[in-house]
Amino acid sequence: MSPMRLLLPAAIGLLFLIAPAFAQTPGQRIIVEQSGSSPRQEGAVRVQSSINFFIAGPTGEGDEAQKLRERARRIVYEMAARECDLLREVLAKDCRMESVTSNVNINRQFGQQQEGLTINGSMSFQITLK
């Protein structure tokens, strides 16, 4: 077989591979978003914030312990509610809350460490920069 007969199919195949690249207009952008993620607007940034703290108090099954657990979660939720206001003051034109997580762990180690709750909260926002 002549080298020209082998080169011709390779050249045609290469043409099919590079033709789409030449067909794109200058400045065209292709944005690939992963499945499961929320769509982002142009100029949008995701902001995540976390908080960890300890509240001393009862950890049993009584009314006071229940009120303490509710107070702990309320602190995280109130912080999340105010976070968009803070972001708008500092760097955001617009803000949208995406998620809030609150974990309350009971700490019942008697002895040196005080009885109480360890609270971990996290929140995620999508903002548009100023």
pLDDT digits (tens, 9 = 90+) for 100-126: 999 988 876 666 678 899 999 999 999
Range in 5-19, 24-38, 112-126 the model is least confident about:
24-38
| H/E run at residue 104 | strand 92-107
Rounded Cα–Cα distance for residues 106 and 117 (Å): 5
- H helical segments located in the chain: 3-23, 63-90
pTM above 0.75, yes or no: no
pLDDT score of 23: 45
Q: Which two tokens stand for residue 110?
A: 């008697």
